[in-house]
């Protein structure tokens, strides 16, 4: 097999192997190689040597944590041993999905004008140095533009974690100038970032998942308790909510031809309220009563703003 990795990265080939086996559930090496050869964009018409395939299996396990095993009997088919990991949340699943999309785009240059992508702010340029600082527990000096104060401030922070939400990367970090707990900073509002030699001790009792437990998005006001929220959605809107969950705690407790009722164990903070309003008249808050009144108040103020003087 000639070296054709210049045109297509090895990562794209790894992703191709994962996706092909994932779609077939179980497949023999002979059938896999036949599909490989027929996909000229990735193989350039050349065979996939068995030894190369075995090396890729090891690399895939190291990179993505996805184990490709063999039945070792009968048809000797290959399968993904931990297939459920691909569907679960987590960094390895996210990496696989990201590379999968990248692979699809890289192999679609002939129709690139028919593939429209969504813009992601340039704040992601700071993602790599932040993650590097997190690995070594190094303090960062940032110049940050706050939307609320409309001013730029320069200060040091201890980076705790990063989170992606609605096209934006965010950093949870504790300012070295305040005794308060960590705050959330949007990477696209960082004007300058420098890594310092100074290090910090990561609190042993702090956990990223616990910090955002019950939150809808990026707002993590710990003073707001988790509670049961009940929403009523029209039958049509319920289909969208059912297929793409609003929150991981979502449960559908009632369903008929006219509407469905969903429950959420969540902190109903500002971003969750915005999500409710986004659905317009298709979704109604049933419980708790305070949230129902809060949403009703927002709707009334919206309506008043459209009234003529």
* CB proximity list for 24: less than 8 A, separation 6 or greater: 31
CA–CA distance, 1 with 160 (Å, rounded to integer): 46
pLDDT along the chain (309 residues), means of 10: 50 85 90 90 87 92 87 89 68 64 66 69 76 92 86 91 87 84 90 94 91 91 90 96 93 96 96 94 96 96 85
β-strand partners of 184:
172
**Rounded-to-10 torsion of CA 132, 138, 139, 145:** 10
CA–CA distance, 197 with 217 (Å, rounded to integer): 32
Tokens of 274: 């915005």
**Residue pair 226/214 in contact by the 8 Å Cβ criterion:** yes
Cβ-count burial 48-66 (b if 16+ within 10 Å, e if not): beeeebeebbeebeebbbb
CA–CA distance, 125 with 270 (Å, rounded to integer): 28
Q: What is the pLDDT of residue 23?
A: 82
pTM over 0.85: no
Residue 143's SS3 state is strand
**Rounded-to-10 torsion of CA 294, 220, 180, 223:** 50
Q: What is the pLDDT of residue 44?
A: 83
Q: What is the pLDDT of residue 192?
A: 93
Cα–Cα nearest to 214, from 200, 202, 227: 227
Q: What is the pLDDT of residue 105?
A: 67
Reduced 3-state DSSP string for 48-67 = CCHHHHHHHHHHHHHHHCCC
β-strand partners of 243:
none
**Residue pair 159/169 in contact by the 8 Å Cβ criterion:** no
Distances in Å between the alpha carbon of 279 and those of 41, 206, 241, 272, 282? 42, 35, 10, 11, 6
Tokens of 42: 């990735």
Q: What is the pLDDT of residue 96?
A: 65
**Residue pair 166/217 in contact by the 8 Å Cβ criterion:** yes
Cα–Cα nearest to 8, from 42, 46, 34: 42
**Rounded-to-10 torsion of CA 60, 62, 64, 65:** 110
Q: Give the fold, CATH level 3, of 122-211.
A: SH3 type barrels. (2.30.30)
CA–CA distance, 39 with 47 (Å, rounded to integer): 11
Cα–Cα nearest to 215, from 175, 268, 278, 290: 268
Under CATH, which architecture does the 10-113 domain have? Orthogonal Bundle (1.10)
Q: Find out whether the peptide bond into 154 is cis, omega within 30 degrees of 0.
A: no
CA–CA distance, 293 with 62 (Å, rounded to integer): 51
């Amino acid at each position: 097999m000639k070296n054709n990795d210049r045109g297509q990265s090895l990562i794209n080939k790894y992703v191709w192997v994962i996706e092909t086996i994932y779609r077939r559930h179980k497949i023999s090496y002979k059938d896999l190689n036949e599909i490989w050869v027929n996909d000229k964009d990735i193989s350039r018409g050349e065979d996939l040597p068995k030894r190369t395939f075995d090396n890729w299996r090891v690399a895939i396990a190291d990179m993505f944590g996805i184990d490709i095993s063999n039945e070792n009997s009968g048809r000797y088919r290959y399968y993904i041993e931990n297939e459920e990991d691909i569907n679960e949340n987590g960094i390895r699943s996210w990496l696989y999905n990201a590379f999968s999309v990248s692979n699809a785009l890289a192999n679609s240059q002939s129709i690139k004008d028919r593939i429209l992508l969504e813009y992601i702010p340039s704040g992601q340029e700071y993602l790599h140095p932040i993650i590097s600082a997190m690995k070594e527990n190094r303090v960062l000096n940032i110049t940050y533009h706050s939307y609320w104060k409309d001013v730029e401030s320069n200060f040091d922070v201890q980076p705790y974690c990063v989170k992606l939400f609605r096209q934006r990367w965010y950093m949870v970090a504790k300012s070295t100038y305040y005794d308060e707990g960590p705050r959330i900073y949007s990477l696209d509002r960082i004007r300058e970032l420098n890594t310092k030699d100074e290090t910090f001790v990561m609190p042993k009792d702090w956990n990223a998942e616990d910090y955002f437990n019950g939150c809808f998005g990026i707002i993590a006001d710990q003073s707001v308790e988790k509670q049961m929220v009940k929403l009523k959605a029209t039958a049509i809107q319920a289909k969208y909510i059912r297929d793409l969950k609003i929150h991981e705690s979502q449960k559908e407790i009632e369903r008929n031809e006219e509407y469905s009722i969903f429950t959420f164990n969540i902190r109903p903070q500002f971003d969750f309220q915005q999500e409710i309003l986004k659905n317009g008249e298709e979704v109604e808050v049933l419980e708790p009563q305070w949230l129902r009144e809060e949403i009703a108040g927002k709707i009334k103020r919206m309506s008043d703003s459209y009234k003529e003087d």
